[in-house]
Structure 1
Amino acid sequence: MTKHETLILAENFQEEFIHHRRHLHQHPEIGFELPNTVAYVEKTLLSMGLTPQKVGQAGLVVTIGNGNGKTILLRGDMDALPMEENTDLPFKSTNGFAHTCGHDIHTTFMLGAAKLLKEKEKEIHGTVKIMFQPAEEIGLGAKDMIENGLLENPKVDAALALHVTPDLEVGKFGYKPGIAASSLDGFFLKVQGKGGHSSEPQNAIDPLMIVNAIYNQMNTLVSKEIDPKERAVLVIGKMGGGTVANIIPDTAHLEATLRSFKPEVRDHLFNRVQEIIDATVKMMRGTYELKTISTPSLYNNETLCKQVVPFVKEILGEDNLQIDAEPLAGTEDFSYISQQVPTMFMWAGSNGLGDNNYPLHNPNIMLDEGVIPLGVAVVVHSAISWLNQA
């Protein structure tokens, strides 16, 4: 197969792109608190002759093209995770945060795409809008940017995103038409009881008994109320309260996460969790505070996927783009965008480092930088080709 000219162009700038990636990797930040990352991205875009605009709490957007016709959005997330890195990389992070999910590479994809799209701007019949997103790891960044006008001025007609994965070798990409990643609901419960001495339990209301009863009831939901052919996971990962053995505590807490694929399954479980909490607490004479967070399931538009697949194969080769049989069990807040416009979310293989085959979010993970020019070329060629045929 003859190498595509967009991939050749990306490889010509590979050293520059790797410099961006290593700087970002060495200086990770989390959530919406990304002042240095945003400043670096903004400075880099300005050096290309582009004019980035701030969107929401910590997002940036830049547009490239002639302003006529349709608009396609490219997404790159910038935030890291609150964990230590455990590698011997010379550019490893030492500030207590780490890019163990590969968002440093995602940001680099978008910086590289901006570079190439600016070089090829005369070829673009429409507009490419590139978003640099905060707070993906806490499921809030895309929503914040949408609420602050991300999909308007110009109005977005379709969107693409890449996510690195060590499950595929460099040179191979994957995607899943339809539901591509699970929804996520988080439940954060504080139960108020009535503290007292362990010798006088009749004068107390034990919040630990209440959360224990809730725990037991919640753990029957998936097995007893969901069709076994469907997939859902409800996990209570944090629960407790109290200080010493001879005091009935005043409060107790429980925290849980729910993941599912189909909206109707999610809605049933989400409502039932709240019903169980409310009924159990009231039955046992307590009161409670409940906070929830929700991220919808990610949906890959089948029509858009069919349109984009040939362009991806022109970069990767006919046999290097695979259709995944199963959706991602984890959650991706690109899903907020998929609720508004047709989207295609792809996995970019980044495992080429021999025995280092740790999963994402592992402190030992080392992703192969060979994926960078491929990812840049895929999004650039796909965006321009889709606009030019639209």
Structure 2
Amino acid sequence: MQEGILSKAAALKEDIITWRRHLHQYPELSFEEVETVRFVKEKLEQLNFDIEYPIAKTGLIATLKGESEGPTVALRADMDALPIQEESNLPYKSSVDGVGHLCGHDAHTAILLGAAHILSQNPLKKGNIKLLFQPAEEGYGGAEVMVNEGALQNPAVDVIAGLHVHPTVKTGETSITEGYATACADSFDIKIIGKGGHAAHPHLSIDPIAIASTVIASLQQVVSRNVDPLENIVLTIGKINGGFARNVIAPEVALEGTVRLLNPNLRPLVKEKMDEYLKGITEGMGGTYEFTYTDGIPSVYNEPTLIPDLHHSIDKVLGENQLLKVKPSMGGEDFSYYTNKIPGVFFRLGTNGSEDTSYPNHHPKFNVDEDALPYGSAILAQFAYDYIENH
């Protein structure tokens, strides 16, 4: 099966590249992937899948059923683009102003279409394989909507696998993190309320900007002095809004920020300590505050018992020692909504083949080495076959 799958993927290479370039040229934002999913549907209708469409507004599920009962494996690709202007001279660059596939979801979709063609050529003796073409990964939680609308049911999914193209890994290699692999991406809003007045008479006012400066410095101690330093937590205030003029003391200031942490069990501690610091500082300086903490996308959890299965499948496709173990990322990824429900693995596919494909995800010049695309298709198909065969 090993050489057969890799050779089938290689035979599909030009098709996969063509699909990816088409999607790259016509990007669509989250929950707006109307033409994208229509393109996917047209390609899948040529194959022997049962298609469920639409799901999660602009998503699609394609199921390949075996001849007898067995495990069900899901493979996922996200389809949405980013609100970023692409800066490249590629002949297939984005045709939509201010929108671009600068995170690689065009590649993910083309890769899963490649896997679909491989799978359709090798009918299952047992079990099922579900392909999840998901909308709205970029901060809109499309995976959560997919789960809520039953993507992991009928038939019930036993395990799920997904990948992300990445410039930190060379073409021909892959990487993974065991356990918590990405961060919970939480957000918070703070309003510091003082008393406005004239800058020449600060004693007659309560300056929320002065309070905010103390708050910003002190909140960093929530991480550095209240949490085990071996835990991974980042607290960042990314936006401040307040004030009218240089000679005016404003009545209030608004702060916006994010908390990234790997271990979701630390969320209650972080919330509690942030609130305590805010209360102490604002009251001590004569002001008041409003504080809202919002749980965001949870952490992706790579099931340790599945990693040897993935490793074995990657060895078959790429050769031995091409799955690297790496540190977690503090970025967010909504694949976590699947791994919160069922065991899963989420790995990085190396797409760095030259300087042109070394730009980071979300960079205006982000691009992928297209030689890596058939590897992704082969690995996903191989993992699905191997898991069903061995479980």
TM-score by length of 2: 0.91
AA aligned to 1:12 is A
Aligned pairs for 1:139-218 (under 5 A) are 140-198=141-199, 205-218=206-219
Post-superposition offset of 1:317 = 0.6
Instruction: Give the superposition deviation at 1:316.
Output: 0.9
The residue identity in structure 2 corresponding to 1:153 is: N
Secondary structure of 2:18's partner? helix
In structure 2, the partner of 1:54 is: 54
Alignment CA distance shift 1:286-1:233 (3 Å) = same
Give 1:353's aligned amino acid: S
**1:52 Cα deviation from its structure 2 partner:** 3.3
Deviates most, 152-161 or 209-218: 209-218
Moved more, 303-312 or 344-353: 303-312
Give the equivalent residue in structure 2 for 1:307.
309
Unpaired stretches in structure 1, ≥5 consecutive residues: none
Distance 2:186 2:308 in 1: 31
Amino acid in the other structure paired with 2:343: P
Structure 2 counterparts to residues 282-361 of structure 1, below 5 A = 284-288=286-290, 290=292, 292-324=294-326, 326-354=327-355, 356-361=357-362
How far did 1:352 drift? Answer: 0.9
SS at match of 1:225: coil
* 2:103 is the alignment partner of 1:101: yes
Q: Is the 8 A contact 1:182 1:296 kept in 2?
A: yes
- The offset of 1:287, in angstroms, is 4.6
- Is contact 1:85-1:93 (8 Å) kept? yes
SS at match of 2:126: coil
Aligned length: 387
Is 201-210 or 126-135 further displaced after alignment? Answer: 201-210
Pick which of 58-67 and 315-324 moved more. 58-67
Given the superposition, is the C-alpha separation of residues 149 and 194 from structure 1 closer, same or farther in structure 2, using an over 3 Å criterion? farther
Give the counterpart letter for 1:385 in structure 2. D
Residue 390 of structure 2 corresponds to residue 389 of structure 1: yes
- The secondary structure found in structure 2 opposite 1:181 is coil
For normalisation by structure 1, the TM-score amounts to 0.91
| Structure 1 residues 28 and 372, CA gap change in structure 2 (3 angstroms) | same
Show the 5 A alignment for 1:65-104.
65-66=65-66, 68-94=69-95, 95-104=97-106
Contact 1:124 1:388 in 2 (8 A): no
What is the CA-CA distance between 1:369 and the residue it aligns to?
0.6
| 1:314-333 CA distance string (max 9 Å, x none) | 11111222222x11232221
Residue number in structure 1 paired with 2:113:
111
Partner of 1:255: 256
Query: 1:10-44 CA distances to partner (integer Å, 9 max, x unpaired)?
Result: 12122211111011111222222322222222232
Tell me if structure 2 keeps the 8 A contact 1:211–1:239. no
> Structure 2: which 5+ runs fail to align?
none
Query: 1:339/1:3 Cα in 2 relative to 1: closer, same or farther (>3 Å)?
Result: closer
Change (3 A) 1:43 1:280: farther
Equivalents in 1 of 2:351, 2:138: separation in Å? 20
Which secondary structure state, in structure 1, belongs to the residue aligned with residue 98 of structure 2? coil
User: Relative to 1, partners in 2 of residues 1:205 and 1:36: Cα closer, same or farther, differing over 3 Å?
Assistant: farther
Partner of 1:264: 265
Q: How far off is 1:157 after superposition?
A: 0.6
